[in-house]
Structure formats: C-alpha cells, structure tokens
Structure 1
C-alpha cells in the first residue's frame, strides 16, 4: 500500500520530524511482535498527545488507511502486526504518569507507561496496580488494557477489566471520547470501559487510563507442593480454591515442565509428577493462619512434599523452577506455540489429562504450566522441525476443541489477535459473533482499526 500524498502531508504537519517515520529500517522494527509474525507498515508515528491521535484517525479514515495501535510489542498472538500495511501508532512517547491519588485509590496514566515503572512509582505510597504479566518490566499499560493481560495475581485481585475505572480514547470515526468513572461504583449507561479492554485496538485507540489502585499487603508467604502426578495436583487446586483463603498466586507446573526446568536450572528444581507454587498475602497477624489454611487444602492423595519458605532466600529458591521455564523452552524450540486456555477450576484435571493424551497422539512435546487458580493454563507446544510443526498445528486445534468441551475459552490473557481468530467460531455462536461485528461497525464503521484481527 502507498499512502496518498494528502495523507503524507498531514502526517508531516501533525507530527514532528522525529515523530513520523517512513524509513524502511524503522518501519521494519514495528512490523512484528512477539508472535514472530511480521508485515511492513507504510509509516510509523509517535504521538505525544490525544489531539494528534484524533487528527491521525480522521485523516486515515478519509483515505481508508489502516491504523494499528502498538504498545511495546510483547504480544504473542500477532495483535499488533500490520497485516494490511497502513500506519502503526506507537504510544511509547505517551508515557507520563499524570496523577496518583492515594485518597481515592486511583492513578491516571498515558498508555505508554510501562507496567513496571508504574509499580515502582506506587510502591513508596503503599499501593500497586494488580495486573502483573510476566513481561511487566517492559510491557505498557496500553498493551495490558488492549489484551486484558493479567498475570499470577489475577486469582485474588482480578484482571485489567476489574482494575480500570475509566478511559479516554479515539474511535475509528476519529471522535475522541471518555468512558467510565473516577469512582469505584458507577451505574450510568453501558460499560464501554470494560468493552474496550481486551478489544485489541479494533474499536478505539486508548490515550489515557484511570486505574484502580490496591493497598500493598505488608507480608507474603510462599509455599511449594509437589505431587505424584498432574491429576493429584489439579485436584489440589480445586480444593485450595474451594476454601475461604484466596491465594494471591497459585501456579501449576507439570512433570514435563519440571524436567525441562531441572535440565536447565539444576538440582534445585524438584523432580515430581507436578508442582504447585502458592503464595498468600496479608497483614502479619493473619498471614500464618492463611498459610496454614492453604496448606491443609494442598494436602491430600498424591502429595509428596510441602515446603513453606521462611526467608526471602528460601522464597527465591522455591520459585527457581518457574523462573527457569521460559529460557529452558527456548533451548528446545524457537518455534514455540504458546497458548493460554482457560477452563473452570473443577475441570482442570480433565484438561491436564486431555493434553497428555493429545501430546502422545500427535507425538509433540507439550509443556503445561500457568495460573491454575483461575483455570488459566499456558499450553506450550514445542515443535523441533517442520514435521513436528505440522503435527503441532493439528494438535492445537484438538486442544482448543477439548477446552471448549470443558466449558472453557480460548484465551485468558494473551488475546486472540491474528493467530487465534480462525478458532473464534469454536468458542462463540454465530449470533454472538454477529453482535460483536455490529459493535465493531458502531465504533469503526470503515474498518480501519487493526483490520484482520480478533473477529473471524
């Protein structure tokens, strides 16, 4: 696609010389994300204020040119790949924390603020923003909102949808608008804030977010439980989530993942049929009781060992297996297929057993771990050559079918993007997809916002 001269002129007028690039090398840097898919944009712009985004979208709409919002490119589903060319809008320079208001437990930020930077700014004030994806040191708040990216703390504190009060954004019409509230309660019309979160830039471009803050607990206790097999560990998850103390993290790691982590990280990683990493948080006078309640629930048929960390060093040692997983997987397969399916917690044993069967059926190595307290498991298929890659894609379709049969859904926090959109009819009825298309048409009547993503 070649941009019309009138649009080129407007881009140069709207953005400073260093904030608008047509250079091939720079465009290439914004042609891909962590999905390893890529497609070249025709231009990249770096807005610093809301008005520039309005002007850009209005101009691109007039010329029917695609507009693709981008955070820091950590997404794994191809959600920011400009498949039809057009203009990539990188929000990395809209990175100001505009206001922190402890009295009202809120912060107002621009979309380019890094998750980790926000957490550091909140720490001295005794607050945090609960969403904590693995990529938090380098992923942006805007990207977190676009995909509803969450992390381990979601089990207790919720995802971005539960931790965002309001947004400022620009629809595909070029009209700027605000939605949501500055209050923790509100019942005034449709909830457009939650609608935009997770919409992957297909409805509007977020230019500001009002986030709900949570007081930081003063203590945390870490437990590690190993089990005879994955079924025993999955049943323990259901027991833990059925008692009154909600852990702030409940991570599951299967036997294949443990062996892989041990090969990479050394003998500090236990060999077992499966493992749970559990954390509880709270005030000092309640912490011991919370840890004891969770420990009781973790015990049962198949438990091999239960350890409770007493020091920061012991906590770090207990987490060693989980932290070794990502680099260990890269040593096996640079073409890892990373999915983040979700099922009701009571169906975790069936999901884990089913994945084992599919791994054997298709002769593909599958490593399973993730946020078991939400029923959200990361299913990582690790093909090592072209033949295994073909079998992995056939296996993936059956994994999704298994998840849907267990009343689950395709994604918990990675989103749909480009890679999973063909599977959307598995999860949603034609009537539901039709309503979603109508919503898309209302926000973006000409279909210029992130075309080719999310909706099949």
Structure 2
C-alpha cells in the first residue's frame, strides 16, 4: 500500500479537478473493485474531462511517485483496474465524447470513456459498426476494451480490438502526450506503437483519444446450430469450417456439460446424447448469404454430427441461440462462485484441452465447464465452487493454475481477450521467455520511467 497522498499534491489536484477530485471513503469505494471481485481502496479518484488535465495529473503524481490506475467501467475479470498499490484511480467516465464519425473513411474518433454500446448506436444510421463485441459491450468503455484487447464472438471474422484501431493519443508515465498510428488504413512509418498500447492494461500510457477502424454492417445474417456426439467431432468440424473460404461471423462452442445445463436447467431443446454444440453464424449480402450458408453446412457435416438446424428468420435465429443464452444462468445452479478464464489453444488441440479440463474436474472434485470462441481456439474455462468453503476455494485456485499449465503445454497461451491483470501475472514466466520478459520490462521503463502506471499488473516482479 502506498503512503497517504502528500498534502501539497492533494491541494494541487483538488485545484486542478475541483469536484472531480474524490477523497471521501464512500466515493472511493465505488472505484476499489472490478468484476474480478478483488478490492483495494485508492487514496483518491480523479475524473478528468480533458487530455490537459490527464497530463497535469500524471506529471504531478510522477513528481511525488504516486501510483496511477486507469479505469474504464470496471468490467474486466482479472483485477487489472484494482488499485492494489493505493494511489489515484483515473476514471475516464467523463471523457465520453464521440468526437467525429467519418463514414467515407470508415473511422470514428472517440474519447476513452465512450461506451461500446453507445458508439454502436451512433454508428448504426451510417450502416457501420465497430467489431469488438465483448459480453459487456452495452456498458464497457472503449478505453477499457482497448486496454485488454477485448474481442467477443465476432472476432473470428472481424478481429479483436487491436485489429480495429487506427491511431491512439495517450499520455505516458512521464506525462508526455504521444500520437501513435495514423488515420489511414495503411501506414508504414516507424514502430507500430498504437498496437503495442492496445492490451497493455494501462501499464504504459493512459489513452485519451482513439481513432477506430469501422466496418460496414452486413445487410443479412443467418445462424446454424450443429450438435455433435462428442467434443472431438465438434473440434474436427471447427477445423473444417475454418479451412474453407467462407469465414463464419461467429463460431461458438459448448462442451457436453454446457449442453446438459442448457437443456436440463435452461430448458433448451437439445438431444440427450449431445456431447458438444457449435453455434455458427454467417453474414453478408442477402443474395449471396444462402451460398455462404450452404458452404458452412457442408463443412459442419461429418463424423459425429447428430443434428444441424438453421434459422430462416430472426425469430428462428433467436430460438437457436436460446441454448447459449440459457447457459450463464444455469451455471449458478451448480455453485455460487466461479473462476472464468479465457485460455487459447490451436483449434486442433481443443479436444485435448476439454478432455484435460474434465480430468482436472475429477481430480479436484469440482465442476468445470468450457464454452467460447471456437474459431479462435479461445475457450472460457469456468471453474465452479463455493467461495465460503475454504477447502473448495483452495482446490479451485489450484485447479485453475493447472488449467493454465495445460493450455501452455498444448501450444496455447494464458488469455485471448480478458488480459493478464493480477489473476495471471504470476504465470507470465511460464508463458513468456525470460529474454522476452526482459524486453517487456525495458519497454515499460521507456514509457513509464518511474513505474507509476498500474503497478503490480501484467508483468511479474523481477
């Protein structure tokens, strides 16, 4: 925990920010936690409205060596925005303007506090959208999406946040304003710094403006639901789907445990012999969509397929998605708490990942279910337990460490879209070589020479 803020710093920032400088314990508590359920009280909270205020704030805190933790809406699950070292939380909720929408350039310029859902609403009349669509899209901020490289189901076709940003303006830990990238869709002028900042979890710089790459909305879409005898059959279908020319706009996976829950608890219409399920969507022009759907049907068909249903209209599509929507509420019937991590493996290794996870479930005597973005090999491993039971809690955290080891052993990595934060920081030396970690630390020092930006996150202690 950091020492109390120096009185001179408190007076300086109170004058800079006025009523946007919060020190009351009740007000600070609202910024002490995120969706990881971890909690640490900051010494103060800043709610800047301008980049100039952010610069002045960073320079003042650097002078006094006070930690700064950038915050969007706190929807992340890894503890990345929890102020474990105290200091000042910088919430960007008041920097929430859409500065420009340029349909001809397929570009939107926004401040970091703009909500993903609000941006999508503003883009809709222009026939455009910003592809990242995490589950929290309605209430997560663009700055937060960029900080952890958020993805979502559409990433299989359209990419994650890093693939959909053109330029960033940010304030480094030295208080310097830098502009990275370009508003053009092509550029080869020096280092690719804007892509470096995306996914850095506020450890390198504080984003104050983003130029985003937009995509035209497809006029039509259609869905398929493929039910398989076992995970191996479903994974082989994923490989076939991703090998043919028509890229699905979504390709979601549910293991047998998920299917059972969706059927028995959520009421979804699914066969009892189902061992895995794929939800497949295609989008495109109404005249060509039927051909794309046929190609996806051919790829989905094969050994182990039990049923293949398609949706002729939006109502039918919603009915097909009912199994996926019934899943999260159903998980609550198994246990009051869960650890949800988003490991990634090569698509061909999905069966080994799911089999290994089920072996761990038996070893640690806890239910574990897998679902997620199969086209990217990005599965959400949900380990269910009772946090009030000390023995279960200990087994749950030990099992999750083994899940990380399993993913790495299969040629995968620790996170596809949630990031590292606190939850996976200690596993970084297993995922990244010592020389690579050393380069990452050098980059950290170049951007943040005094280590005041989000200390204790992402990089393990030396």
TM-score bracket for the superposition, by shorter chain length: over 0.9
Runs of 4+ in 1 over 4 A off after TM superposition: none
Match of 2:425 in 1: 421
Matched, 1:323 2:321: no
CA RMSD of aligned residues (A): 1.0
Find the aligned partners of 1:44 and 1:334 in 2 and give their Cα distance: 32
Find the aligned partners of 2:168 and 2:195 in 1 and give their Cα distance: 9
> In the TM superposition, what is the alpha-carbon distance from 1:267 to its structure 2 partner?
4.1
Match of 1:291 in 2: 293
Match of 1:85 in 2: 86
> In the TM superposition, what is the alpha-carbon distance from 1:326 to its structure 2 partner?
1.8
Instruction: Confirm or deny: 8 A CA contact 2:257 2:369 kept in the other structure.
Output: yes
Find the aligned partners of 2:346 and 2:39 in 1 and give their Cα distance: 34
Match of 1:347 in 2: 349
> In the TM superposition, what is the alpha-carbon distance from 1:324 to its structure 2 partner?
1.7
- Three-state SS of the structure 2 residue aligned to 1:173 is coil
Match of 2:156 in 1: 155
Find the aligned partners of 1:264 and 1:28 in 2 and give their Cα distance: 36
Instruction: Confirm or deny: 8 A CA contact 1:231 1:353 kept in the other structure.
Output: no
- Three-state SS of the structure 1 residue aligned to 2:81 is coil
> In the TM superposition, what is the alpha-carbon distance from 1:262 to its structure 2 partner?
2.7
Match of 2:440 in 1: 436
- Three-state SS of the structure 1 residue aligned to 2:372 is strand
| Pick aligned residue for 2:384 from 375, 379, 382 | 382
Find the aligned partners of 1:143 and 1:74 in 2 and give their Cα distance: 8
**Quick one: structure 1 residues 209 and 314, their matched pair in 2 at CA, closer, same or farther if it must change by over 3 Å?**
same
Find the aligned partners of 1:377 and 1:188 in 2 and give their Cα distance: 36
| Pick aligned residue for 2:404 from 388, 400, 411 | 400
Aligned residues: 455
The TM-score, its normalising length taken from structure 2, stands at 0.97
Structure 2 portions without partners, runs of 5+? none
Match of 1:120 in 2: 121
Match of 2:50 in 1: 49
Deviations 1:119-177, CA, capped at 9 Å, x for gaps: 01101100000000010000000000000011000000011111000001000001111
Deviations 1:354-401, CA, capped at 9 Å, x for gaps: 212221222210010000000000000001333222222222122111
The TM-score, its normalising length taken from structure 1, stands at 0.98
Match of 1:306 in 2: 308
Instruction: Confirm or deny: 8 A CA contact 2:166 2:182 kept in the other structure.
Output: yes
- Three-state SS of the structure 1 residue aligned to 2:342 is strand
Find the aligned partners of 1:334 and 1:250 in 2 and give their Cα distance: 29
Instruction: Confirm or deny: 8 A CA contact 2:109 2:209 kept in the other structure.
Output: yes
Match of 1:201 in 2: 202
Deviations 1:392-418, CA, capped at 9 Å, x for gaps: 222212211111111100000000001
**Quick one: structure 1 residues 134 and 188, their matched pair in 2 at CA, closer, same or farther if it must change by over 3 Å?**
same
- Three-state SS of the structure 2 residue aligned to 1:387 is helix
- Three-state SS of the structure 1 residue aligned to 2:227 is strand
Find the aligned partners of 2:179 and 2:325 in 1 and give their Cα distance: 39
- Three-state SS of the structure 1 residue aligned to 2:265 is helix
Instruction: Confirm or deny: 8 A CA contact 2:250 2:280 kept in the other structure.
Output: yes
- Three-state SS of the structure 2 residue aligned to 1:380 is strand
Find the aligned partners of 2:336 and 2:84 in 1 and give their Cα distance: 22
Match of 2:367 in 1: 365
Structure 1 portions without partners, runs of 5+? none
